[in-house]
Amino acid sequence: MQSLQVHNKSGQVTLPKSDLRRDGIIEDDFPSGFEQQCVVDRLGRGQFLVRLVNVNGEGDVPDLLEADAVQRAAMQLLLDDDHHRVELELD
């Protein structure tokens, strides 16, 4: 679990190096002068989504709807809705 800290009067959370390695953002450690642009979206109270800007030279921001967490949440909503429909039809 990460902790929210104050840095320059803003909230700051660190990302685990092991996750950054697994995703190919860094190889072993942070190279000298490392910098990665990010977009942070507030999804709701206490919920944030961090997206790393693509490093393809164009600075593309990954589409919010393509985020795995967003797709899982959308699928869960669909499944819950279908489940409620089936219950209503059986009643």
- The pLDDT tens digits of the residues spanning 61-74 come to 878 888 888 888 88
- The structure's pTM equals 0.66
Spatial separation of the C-alpha atoms in residues 84 and 90, rounded to whole Å: 10
DSSP 3-32: --EEETTEEE-PPPHHHHHHTTS-SSSPPT
Query: Of how many residues is the chain composed?
Result: 91
The 10s digit of each residue's pLDDT in 8-66 is 999 999 999 999 999 888 888 888 888 888 889 898 899 888 888 875 556 788 788 88
